[in-house]
Amino acid sequence: MPYQIIVCGGLAPDPLQTLEPVSSPAGPALKNEMMLPAVFDPWAGHALYEAAHLAKQHPGSSIKVVSLAPKAKLQQVMMTIAQKLPFELVPLDGPGGGFTDAASIAAVLADAIAAIPGLDKSQVLLFGGWESATRGAGTVMQMVGEKLGITEQFLAVDELTIDADGALVIKERVEGGQHQVSRCTAPPAVLAWATGNLSEPANHPQTGMANMRAMMPALQKAKPASLTSALTFADVSLPAVTRQTRIVKDVPAAEIAREIAEWIKQ
Amino acid sequence: MTPDEAPELKPLDADILCVGFGPATGGFLTTLTRGLGEASIDSRAMPGLPPQVLCYERADDIAFGVSGVVTRARAIRASFPDLNPDEIPMAARVTDEKLVYLLDPHGASRRPALMQFADKLIEACGGLLRAEHQGWALPYCPGFLHKRDGFIFSLGQFNQWVGQQVMMTGLAQIWPSTPVAGPLVENGKVAGVVLAADGSEVRAEFTVVGDGPIGPVGRRIDETFGMPPGHQRDEWAVGMKMVVDLPDSCDLPEGTVFHTIGYPEPEIFGFFYVHPGRVASVGIFVPSWLESPVRTSYRFLQHFVQHPYLWRYLKGGRMRSWGAKSLLESGRRGEPFLTGNGYARIGEGSGSTNVLTGSGVDEAWLTGVQLAEAVLDIYREGLPFTKENLDARYTAKRRASWLDHESRIAEKARNGFQRGVLQGFIGMGLAGLTNGAFSIPRPSEDKHVRTAEDFFVARLSRSEIETARQNAAREGKPLHDALMDLCGWPPIEYDGKILVSHQDALLMGGKVQAPPDFPDHVVFRQAAVCSHCASHLCAEICSAEAIHVSTTDPQGVPAFDREKCIHCGACLWNCPDSNIEFCAAPGGLHSAEN
């Protein structure tokens, strides 16, 4: 059967850049956030690549990406992501950082999804990242599903197959390095992906240009999302990164390994 | 288009294709989209829509441009009369500018006798001359070198700022991570481009070539249509820099600019300028007329930042970004045919850099603006994009502007460097102070890379060089470190912050990436040529240690590691036998702060 796959995915600052938290009148932010290169959230990226894989196997399927981010940044990132696979974009103009609360984000996403013309809930697979690179709350997808009335929810998904009866067979990560395999007879379902099994597709410029014919007008018309959060932050900081470089000569590899292990223990 | 459909493989049509997103294309797209927004101009490829304008950029983001810049910004300010540097991260007005002569604290550089005499004089009269920390801020700085009232930018941040504004108009699409393999030439006309990712053709009525001096589209066009008589691209430099978080002890205000001469080698120019937020850019230019067969940029950069005049400000700081690029230093002599049927050249690859004033970004921007104005005229008049129409509107505009006037003054300014460094400085002064009326004649034969034995004559014995060469070959290391050590350059004591290994600079500063699914973009054309190469200058100059000579077969073809390459293109013009092809590929630097 064809699926209507909806992928929720935002943006994250390119983690290779120098990220510095600063205070702004609107709360915490990253220094020069609008000028930082951004990437499609890697967790949502896994979901998107899995969606493309599934859609290819089931003719007639469609992929819509619902994305909340500053539309200028969203347009810039889409110039890369749109080259990877065919999809439609439902853009929502709003903050892209992690300093917004999960419930207000989920409400905005659910409203946008519910407003998609021609949505047939019996075909809907709601994909997204289990977590996100900006917020890491791991709760947005559940809340979006709840607001849309989709109660079959699977978190930390690593694999989805469709069996001969058309049922969804889903492999979720559980504690202890184990997987739990579930069988869901039919959509709708929420699948919040961990890493999946697929690598990032190569860029295909013609796919990008074909996608962009619809995306550019959609981006131009993107409306500001109304977030209604009263969340405040007491403090923000970057995770501590420790780097120590020491130049050594003629030290056996085993000795270097021992020293590194000692350093990690500290 | 649905997910189960195969991607279209038919050629796509656009009206205007731009190759490369740098300051020239930024100027072009800024001006063009403003014009398209104001006028009612229809697409010729897709009637009923505005002209379809696509721009392909090789790097993985439009902010990954490589260069800081101090510029008078005349053309940029003309485009943005209310330009407020506060809107652009790392931008500042120039507040203090000095030209500093740096002495050699180690006595290891190759200074001509007259320069050595000057050093002794400055040391002897240091107090009188107000020399300090082995450097002398010259009391007079010729006007042509000044960037007064100008700006300091990070080109990465500037590109990001410009690109966002262009894209938000909805009138142009800028595609990053989309390298272009070459032009599509049909019947003497450029009919579009061929993309490197999948070999697909994208056709357009007009192609804007702004992919810089090492870009494959510009180079292919030069090969196909030739260069104007007497024009050639034979003078280059590697610009290598780092962006540094200054230590608390540094009290230099933002907008401070030092231009330096004299160190680490007399031929190497340097710069140091202070951005807002206690951040500085510091770097050097290693030119092609430094005849060393083991020229290197990274080792020289490490010595440069440790020069006492600069180290007093930098010590305790931390590298936050690093990068390098090739600069075309031929100036007007390197200007190709600016137009042809279906295409036009803009930016550094069009020979717009002024080699006397050391200014390129603003000039590149202006070429883009001028071309966009010409394109809008052509649309309004309903004309085709022929060479004749482009020459009448773009070339003529360029010839009548300050850009061309100043490039003529600069045209012969660097002739003297082909004779020697002192003659080079005298020649620059002569040309600059007489508005180009006088210059030092260029010798009949230009400087060429010499053998190590010739270059280090009277400094190192043949046996010392041969032993170093054998050791380097055995260990698979470049030769420059060993020979510089022998010449008295002190070892680099890494501090893990500014002074880091070359590979750490790639990781910490350049954040170099190489996406999969692309073949090696540096190709050694003929193995036999490499096997007869005495210098392997490609490996010595490589800005990223991405080219290695085999330890088991030192006379074999060097190995290339695309995971390290920063796409500076230095290997391309340093190969004495032109045996390297530098193809289009994505990846490279991922720092947005250069």
| B592 contact residues in A (CB cutoff 8 A) | 14, 17, 35-37
pLDDT tens digits for range A161-196: 999 999 999 999 998 889 999 999 999 999 999 988
Mean pLDDT value across residues B445-469: 90
Contact B82, B73 (CB under 8 A): no
pLDDT at B141: 84
Q: Is A243 on the interface with B (CB under 8 A)?
A: yes
The residue of chain A with its CA nearest to that of B55 is A79
Q: What percent of chain B has pLDDT over 90?
A: 80
Residue B8 has pLDDT above 60, yes or no: no
Residue A58 has pLDDT above 80, yes or no: yes
Q: Is A209 on the interface with B (CB under 8 A)?
A: yes
Q: Is A86 on the interface with B (CB under 8 A)?
A: yes
Number of other residues whose CB lies within 10 A of the CB of residue A7: 26
Q: Mean pLDDT, chain B, as a whole number?
A: 93
Q: Is B64 on the interface with A (CB under 8 A)?
A: yes
pLDDT at B4: 60
Q: Do A206 and B200 touch (CB under 8 A)?
A: yes
Contact A236, A28 (CB under 8 A): yes
Q: Is B1 on the interface with A (CB under 8 A)?
A: yes
Domain boundaries, chain A: 4-221
The residue of chain A with its CA nearest to that of B172 is A216
Mean pLDDT value across residues A229-244: 77
| A58 contact residues in B (CB cutoff 8 A) | 4
Q: Is A248 on the interface with B (CB under 8 A)?
A: no
Q: Is B9 on the interface with A (CB under 8 A)?
A: yes
Residue type, B85: P
pLDDT tens digits for range B16-38: 999 999 999 999 999 999 999 88
Return the DSSP state at B284.
E
Give CA–CA dist A121/A6, Å, rounded. Answer: 11
Q: Do B170 and A216 touch (CB under 8 A)?
A: yes
Q: Is A32 on the interface with B (CB under 8 A)?
A: yes
Backbone angles phi, psi at B362, to 5 degrees: -65, -40
Confidence of residue B11 (pLDDT cuts 50, 70, 90): low
pLDDT at A178: 93
Nearest CA-CA partner of B31 in B165, B145, B199, B153 = B165
Q: Is A201 on the interface with B (CB under 8 A)?
A: no
Q: Which candidate from A212, A220, A245 shows the least CB-CB separation from B173?
A: A212
Q: Is A85 on the interface with B (CB under 8 A)?
A: yes
pLDDT tens digits for range B277-302: 999 999 999 999 999 999 999 999 99
- The first and second tokens of residue A29, run together, are 């932010």
| B169 contact residues in A (CB cutoff 8 A) | none
Contact B323, B241 (CB under 8 A): yes
Looking at the complex, report in whole angstroms how far the Cα of residue A141 sits from the nearest Cα belonging to chain B: 23
Q: Which candidate from B8, B63, B178 shows the least CB-CB separation from A210?
A: B8
Q: Is B373 on the interface with A (CB under 8 A)?
A: no
Which residues contact residue B337 at a Cβ distance below 8 angstroms, ignoring those fewer than 6 apart? B225, B226, B227, B228, B345
Mean pLDDT value across residues A131-142: 89
Looking at the complex, report in whole angstroms how far the Cα of residue A6 sits from the nearest Cα belonging to chain B: 13
Q: Is B591 on the interface with A (CB under 8 A)?
A: yes
3-class state of residue B502 by DSSP: helix
Q: Is A61 on the interface with B (CB under 8 A)?
A: yes
Q: How far is CA B119 from the centre of its chain?
A: 31
pTM to 2 decimals? Answer: 0.93
Q: Do A209 and B88 touch (CB under 8 A)?
A: no
For the stretch B485-489, contacts whose Cβ atoms lie closer than 8 Å and that sit 24 or more positions apart, written own/partner, are: B486/B460, B487/B108, B487/B456, B487/B459, B487/B460, B488/B106, B488/B107, B488/B108, B489/B106, B489/B108, B489/B299, B489/B303
pLDDT at B37: 87
Contact B151, B86 (CB under 8 A): no
* Cβ under 8 Å to A: B residues 149-178: 157, 160-161, 163-164, 167-168, 170, 173-178
- The first and second tokens of residue B227, run together, are 């260069």
Residue B421 has pLDDT above 50, yes or no: yes
ipTM: 0.87
pLDDT tens digits for range B542-591: 999 999 988 787 778 999 999 999 999 999 999 999 999 999 999 999 99
| A61 contact residues in B (CB cutoff 8 A) | 2-4
Start and end residues for every CATH 3.50.50.60 domain found in chain B: 12-69+154-231+334-409
Q: Which candidate from B198, B504, B517 shows the least CB-CB separation from A245?
A: B504
Fold of B92-153+234-331: D-Amino Acid Oxidase; Chain A, domain 2 (3.30.9)
Looking at the complex, report in whole angstroms how far the Cα of residue B194 sits from the nearest Cα belonging to chain A: 11
Residue A229 has pLDDT above 80, yes or no: no
Q: Is B198 on the interface with A (CB under 8 A)?
A: yes
**A to B CB pairs, distance under 8 Å:** 138
Looking at the complex, report in whole angstroms how far the Cα of residue A176 sits from the nearest Cα belonging to chain B: 33
pLDDT at A235: 84
Mean pLDDT value across residues B303-321: 97
Q: Is B61 on the interface with A (CB under 8 A)?
A: yes
Q: Please, what CATH class does the domain formed by B12-69+154-231+334-409 belong to?
A: alpha beta
Give CA–CA dist B312/B306, Å, rounded. Answer: 8
pLDDT tens digits for range B376-415: 999 999 999 999 999 999 999 999 999 999 999 999 999 9
Q: Which candidate from A32, A205, A212 shows the least CB-CB separation from B198?
A: A205
Rank A231-235, B62-66, B431-435 by mean pLDDT and report only the highest.
B431-435
Q: Is B7 on the interface with A (CB under 8 A)?
A: yes
Q: Please, what CATH class does the domain formed by B452-582 belong to?
A: alpha beta
Best of A78, A206, A238, A247 to disrupt the B interface (most B CBs within 10 Å) is: A206
The residue of chain A with its CA nearest to that of B319 is A18
Rank B142-151, B471-480, B499-508 by mean pLDDT and report only the highest.
B499-508
Q: Which candidate from B170, B173, B197 shows the least CB-CB separation from A203?
A: B197
pLDDT tens digits for range B246-278: 999 999 999 999 999 999 999 999 999 999 999
Residue A219 has pLDDT above 70, yes or no: yes
| A210 contact residues in B (CB cutoff 8 A) | 1, 7-8
Q: Are strands B96-102 and B135-137 parallel, antiparallel or unpaired?
A: antiparallel
Looking at the complex, report in whole angstroms how far the Cα of residue B227 sits from the nearest Cα belonging to chain A: 31
pLDDT at A211: 94
Give CA–CA dist B347/B370, Å, rounded. Answer: 11
Contact B367, B209 (CB under 8 A): no
Backbone angles phi, psi at A167, to 5 degrees: -80, 150
Q: Is B501 on the interface with A (CB under 8 A)?
A: yes
Fold of A4-221: Rossmann fold (3.40.50)
3-class state of residue B426 by DSSP: helix
Confidence of residue A40 (pLDDT cuts 50, 70, 90): very high
Residue B145 has pLDDT above 60, yes or no: yes
Start and end residues for every CATH 3.30.9.90 domain found in chain B: 92-153+234-331
- The first and second tokens of residue B171, run together, are 């009138």
Mean pLDDT value across residues A9-34: 86
Contact A205, B12 (CB under 8 A): no
Number of other residues whose CB lies within 10 A of the CB of residue B486: 17
- The first and second tokens of residue A138, run together, are 């791991």
pLDDT tens digits for range B484-532: 999 999 999 999 899 999 999 998 889 999 988 788 999 999 999 998 8
Q: Do A205 and B164 touch (CB under 8 A)?
A: no
Q: Do A86 and B1 touch (CB under 8 A)?
A: yes
pLDDT at B9: 46
Give CA–CA dist B255/B270, Å, rounded. Answer: 16
pLDDT at A96: 82
Q: Is A206 on the interface with B (CB under 8 A)?
A: yes
Q: Do B592 and A216 touch (CB under 8 A)?
A: no
Which alpha helices (H) appear in chain A, and where do they start and end? 42-57, 71-81, 102-114, 140-148, 205-221, 253-265
Best of A1, A33, A35, A88 to disrupt the B interface (most B CBs within 10 Å) is: A35
* Cβ under 8 Å to A: B residues 69-98: 88-89
